[in-house]
Amino acid sequence: MIEEYLNRLKRALIKKGIPEADDIVQYFDEIIEDRIEQGEDLEEVLRDLGEPEQIVKAFGGKEETDKKEKHTDETDHTRSVYYGIRTIKITNTSYDFEILRSPDETTVFECESDDDTMMHEQVGDTLNIEQDFPFYGQGVNILQKMFHGSFNGGDVTLYVPDGCTMLMDNVSGDIEVQGLRLDQLNIDSVSGDLELEDVAAQNMKINTVSGDIEMDDIVVEETMKIDAVNGDYDGDRISCKNIIMNSVNGDIDIGLNARRDQVDVKATSLFHEKTSGGGHCDHKLRIDTVNGDISYHFLTD
Amino acid sequence: MEVQLKRGSLEVCVLASLLKEDSYGYKIIQSLQEVVEISESTLYPILRRLEASNCLKSYSVEHNGRLRKFYSITEKGKDKIKEYLQDFQELMNIFNYIAKEVRKDD
C-alpha cells in the first residue's frame, strides 16, 4: 500500500514538472515509516497525509509568479525555475544579487523589485538575466545615483547548479556568491562590492573598479585573475596554483592554502615595497600594484 | 497570520528545533506541532530553502534497514535565528505602539 501511494505521488510530481520528485518521495516514505514505527495505523497515516494529487499542489512546479504577493507598495515577487542551464549571463546595474548553489540540476531565479526592470530568459542552454535600465532622458542624475548606491530597484536570489559557467557584468549592485561549484566564473564590477564564500571553479576572473572584493574558502583549479583599480581585495584560505593580481590603488591581502615553501611569489608595487621569493614552486602568486599595500600569508604562518 | 510573516517565522522555528541536537523530518514536525500548525508538505520546502541557503546541512543515517535523513544547523542558520530575534524586538515596539493607540481610542 505504501508503494502504491508513493508511486502515485511520484507520478503526480513528475506530471507537474517538479524536478526533485525522487527527493520528495523519499521524504514522504521516511515520514510514513516513522509514523508507523510510532504506532500509527498505515491507512490513517495515508488518509491524514491526503491524496497525492492534493499534496503536489503545495509544491509549485514550472514557471511560477506569486501574484498574491503583490503588495500595495507595488513590490513584485517573481520566481522562475529553469532546466538544462549550462551558462548564465548576467548584466546588472543596480540590483543586489545573492547567488547560491542549487541543491539539484535546476536553476532558480527569484526576484523582488519595485521597478520591474530585471529581465530573464532562457535561450538554449543559456540563461540571460539583464536589467533593462531606464537610462535615456534622465541625464546626469542617474549616474550620480548609481555611484552613490541609492538606486536599488531590487534583489535577486539565484540558485545555480554545479558545472555552469557564470559571466556577470555588474555596475553598482552588491553581489554575494556562496557555495557555487562552477566551470568558469567571470565577474566585472564597477562600484558594487563582491563577496565570495566557499566557491570552486576551474577558472576565475574578477575585475573591479572601486568595489571591494572579499573572498574566503575558494578553490580554483587553473587560474585566478584579479584586477582592481581602487577596490581592496581581502582573501583567505585560497587554493589556487596560479594567481595573478593587479591593482592600482587597492590594497591586497591574501591568505593561501599552501605552505610558504610551495609558492613562488612575485609581488611588486610601484610606490610601496617589493617582495619576492620562493624559487621555482608549483604554486605561482603574482601581485602587481601601483599604490596599494600588499600582504600575503600561508598555511602555518 | 499574514503569509509572509508566518513563512519567515516557520523557517526560524525549524532552525531553532535543531539547536539542541540534529533532528529528522518526523521528529521536527512532532516538536513543532505543539507550537504551530505545520504539515509534512509545509516542512519539505522549508527544509529545502534552508539547505539551499546553507542554514542547515543534511546527512543520512541508517535506521532499521532504511535511510533516515538528519538535519543539522549551521553557523549561518544560527545567525538567522539571531537576526529574527532582533527583528522581533522591533516588531514588539510596533505592536506596543499599536496597542497603546487602540487603548486611547476606546
Question: Could A69 and B3 be called an inter-chain contact, meaning their C-beta atoms sit closer than 8 Å?
Answer: yes
The pLDDT, as a whole number, for residue A67 is 39
- Label residue B96 by pLDDT band (50, 70, 90): confident
Q: Which of A193-197, A225-229, A238-242, B41-45 has the lowest mean pLDDT?
A: B41-45
Task: State yes or no: pLDDT of A214 exceeds 50.
Answer: yes
The pLDDT, as a whole number, for residue B2 is 58
For A256-296, write each residue's pLDDT tens digit.
999 888 888 888 887 766 666 666 678 899 999 888 889 99
Task: Find residue A245's DSSP bridge partners.
Answer: A226, A287
Q: What's the grid cell of residue B4?
A: 509572509
pLDDT, chain A, mean? 85
Select from A23, A31, A176 the residue whose CB has the most chain B CBs within 10 Å, as the one to mutate to test that interface. A31
The pLDDT, as a whole number, for residue A213 is 96
The pLDDT, as a whole number, for residue A161 is 95
How many inter-chain contacts (A to B, CB under 8 Å) are there? 53
How many angstroms away from the CA of A221 is the closest CA of chain B? 24
One DSSP character per residue, B2-60 reads -HHHHHHHHHHHHHHTTSSS-EEHHHHHHHHHTTS---HHHHHHHHHHHHHTTSEEEEE
The pLDDT, as a whole number, for residue B92 is 85
The pLDDT, as a whole number, for residue A149 is 45
Interatomic CA distance for residues A117 and A134, integer angstroms: 8
For A140-157, write each residue's pLDDT tens digit.
455 554 444 445 578 999
**Residues of chain A contacting B53 with CB distance shorter than 8 Å:** 100
CB atoms within 10 A of CB A298: 19
The pLDDT, as a whole number, for residue A118 is 87
pLDDT, chain B, mean? 88
Global pTM value: 0.55
Q: CA of B3: which chain A residue's CA is closest?
A: A69
How many angstroms away from the CA of A15 is the closest CA of chain B? 18
Kind of pairing between the strands at A107-113 and A96-101 = unpaired
| CA distances in angstroms from A92 to A119, A128, A133, listed in the order given | 10, 11, 9
Q: What's the grid cell of residue A118?
A: 530585471
The pLDDT, as a whole number, for residue A234 is 95
Which carries the bigger pLDDT value, residue A185 or residue B34? A185
The pLDDT, as a whole number, for residue A71 is 40
Which carries the bigger pLDDT value, residue A66 or residue B97? B97
Task: State yes or no: pLDDT of B106 exceeds 90.
Answer: no
For A31-56, write each residue's pLDDT tens digit.
999 999 999 999 999 999 988 888 88
The pLDDT, as a whole number, for residue A273 is 60
Which chain B residues in 55-94 lie under 8 Å from chain A, judged by CB atoms? Answer: 64, 66-69
ipTM associated with this complex: 0.83
Q: Is the dihedral of CA B11, B13, B16, B17 positive or negative?
A: negative
Q: Is the dihedral of CA B26, B28, B31, B36 positive or negative?
A: negative
Question: Could B26 and A34 be called an inter-chain contact, meaning their C-beta atoms sit closer than 8 Å?
Answer: yes
Q: Longest Cα pair distance anywhere in chain A, in angstroms?
A: 78
The pLDDT, as a whole number, for residue A271 is 73
How many angstroms away from the CA of A177 is the closest CA of chain B? 11
The pLDDT, as a whole number, for residue A26 is 93
